[in-house]
Structure 1
């Protein structure tokens, strides 16, 4: 291993009589090791929940699981699981890490380590593990609660560990549950919580929903597909119920008021997720308070017969659009879910928004490019993809664009210009309405005002059928709005209410392209002026939660930008862009976009321009420091200000320095002084440090003499 750190050698394990040969041990070791490597992140969060993933590596304080970053573990390739602790100077592979983090000795407990790993992998073990050594390691939180009395694991449909829930029964107090989000290593529920036993209910046509992991596991052990949601009834809205779409769901409530309330809330959530049929059982009479499915199994009840008979008698749940009692303060207690971003720090998920500009600016091309970038993303990729001033979050998903102005051939040509291939072509959907029946208004004017149309409902249902939807683009607004959204505030509000519903139900960001109103020849100079230029009533901007605007840069500034970028100036080739409306803190910096000649796509060149400006500023500072040193060496030093100041004597400076404004000159001098490249010194008969020189110059060393023409009668 690197740095000379020795690996622990499982082949030296002694005291194990179960294997007949070292070769057999080696074969088992490699097989188990490969299985751990295939789910390395879940393994590491299981062993070391305080760790963090960053730049393709896992960081933790030490093998005991203490917080920190002195130890790192590789996550990819053949080296997945290889670790090294820089503080301790030791390392090994994933099996070494498993053993050490569990307080086991690999030389004498090889069999126990293998059995412990197999137990976590869900396999039966041949021998009970020997008592672990007392090596300290990170355990589930105990504090005043004491040790945990139960533990349940939540997996995704592929069997990857997502959440561990620990139960505590402190003496004299109510039971308490603490969830561990395995992916983040934090003691909290994920923003969107999975259902329990996802691998077990995935293919089941009928599922029993209970309150609590203990009851669910009791039914699972009895051979019945069962599940529960993570957390209390107040967290029902955070659960991902989509796995139950098309299934028959039987809800078995605990026999108390809280159990019935949970069943009522859960039934509406399950029905809303598209369950084929939902019914709530009534617990049998004569049972004690809080009696549940786990009690029924413990009593030896024929739970299959009970479920069949009770389900036939239970009324089906009809979905209600509104239940005010579902939205009390209890629903909002506990940690608030973290905001999920499509573009980090710029554009969140689950919101409706707008991208606006003048006609011909290139909104459609830019939004199509955004859809392509979303469809290209691979989950967890360490290389960020930028869009609209920020990096896209590396989560794989589908992007959908509905365009009313471009036909299939034009879309085909644009895609060929923008992308050669996609990792999964099904993740990019572009519907050109000219080839699909023409305009599709989502809002129409009814007898009593604007209403959402059947076309809206059709599109909504189509979008709901895409499980990994991350972005929906509608281009342009006026082609999808049958009502007069530009002049009628109610129509604009209805349009964005429809987009908001789609965003909330699908979890995707929903953007619509829109135009600026005509403002004559008056140019736009700022983001606030660009917001005012968005066409239509204020209801359009206010209805969306987020708006991004592009405005053209005047010809003089455009030519300067093109010159800096060493490209030919063309009319309408340079734009500025910024977030002009946001209902949350976001990056509202103004960006510079330059049209790519070969594709017509507006490309963010802000970083390039900033780097060029930095290089130019560095050159100016070097020239200024050289000029200061030259003047001091000739006995004619500059001061910061005044008659001998750099600004008043700027005619003596070289090149572009002569054109510096007074403010810019002062900033340049301060930068040189702060960096130590220029210092202020005293003259031969002065008691004030005001003359400028470079470190090591004659005036800096105190030996400088003023020469005729220095401009200083005081010191000459």
Structure 2
């Protein structure tokens, strides 16, 4: 049956200046920046792209950790629009309240320089930008002043002997020269003056108007290009931008001219006594920048090399970071509602991976940390002071001041230069991994014994519409998966969950509440969700544990996605005096398990025993009642008939399965679905009952 696709929404044209006024920000082109709600100091935390093709005419990114959809709701409300729902078009047929934002095309204006002349400027020179046929497309006019800095304005022919203000789309400078000579190399410089100076020496040279690179660069396709930057920070940025724009189009080298003072350029270098021969000699020894297109492709493979007879001997056991719950060496996600405490819990996970974990420590993320090594956490939400306070509360005995401290790396981005974009969309190349991400990957790959890496939160590092575009979500997941395979570490991202109208009852409900397109969850191999317990359940838990109830005190969590063996049970967390979530599932009685009865506790005990290589049987010498000293307290006091009835219920509901050990034919051992015995790979520990 043919799939019926939803009609694309009509384009929405908004005026960036009006949007900026509505949110109290600043507009630059089609970009608007502003502070997020509740923020007033420092750099703007919200970036808004005014794009007619985007849902409701806006793409909104927030770099301070707030829920991106809630921030978009705030922007729309400030503009007088209803809240945003991904994939749902506004039901307004006549959006009268935002008509003041609708962009109207301004009529062309006649060119005038009277404002500059009135200030004492004088017209110094005109630079013609012509197409390959020599027809002038627009002009850049340079104005000079006795005491003020030089300035430039642009104009274009109106077809009647006059000029209109502005230039239209940019083109390269001196295209006719480049088109007429396809053999010589081309020099890219920062301004028309420098390009003309090089041309006077017989070189091919070009620049772009006001730093604006055109989309059309075919004139430089296949050419040898040398980029000559001015000697300052701006020059470095423009040189790097030129190399990026020409990557895959031309063979590019960036040349540092020796002996330049701050802010000097190639004209100054020539005025200092250097000549054309010196420039040629300098460029002849320059190595080209490797282009993306020149990177080696993945080696070819043959499907006939992968017949199943190559898999000989004993299959490798699954390695875990958190025993039976979180595999080692997989890409994953921890998703939670706002103010749940996921970042603190993830920091504790890093501490245990790097410092080791006591056998008496409560579980973390549903199990015991069994893989130790180096961990790296990159957080954009907490500054150096907050990280210090949290580490101090987690490490009261000062283990961080021993050799173990070198194994735990926590980078507070607000104190390390601000959050960086690791994934973004480039106008020319589409979805890309940024240079910042590639540099980080190189550092991570150099670490021996790397076990865990976390990006918290994902939205601060992925400057992409993750909540709206499945392709963006899949791109980020693929990138993280590749880094996982290159490092062998578990790589986690922190992400948001939606606030629902009704309480989350099951792990399936929790999975459905994760923000963004399904590509985010589907593209990762392991996902853990955390959400606050509803008030009645939380009060019941607090009463059972004998602690005082307060809002947000009790949090539930569990694995909602796993490609492979992982215990899928709901864990109950209680916030301690420092705000850290502590697993208290084992201490709850029959009235407290979040799924309403003792089946939850029984399934968890059965799964843990099987994962430890000592599985239960339903009855007999290894039976649940016969081995009840290994069960949690809430089950130990039950009669044999009650335990047998619970086991029967668990089997009927699929919470528990019968399984055969490796090499056995009889399915008598109990395990949870997806456990090692359940998939036929279970091994017994020495001394376990057989």
What TM-score comes out, normalization by structure 1 length? 0.40
Q: Is the radius of gyration larger for structure 1 or structure 2?
A: 1
Which is bigger in relative contact order (C-alpha 8 A, separation at least 6)? 2
What TM-score comes out, normalization by structure 2 length? 0.41
Which of the pair is proportionally richer in helix?
A: 1
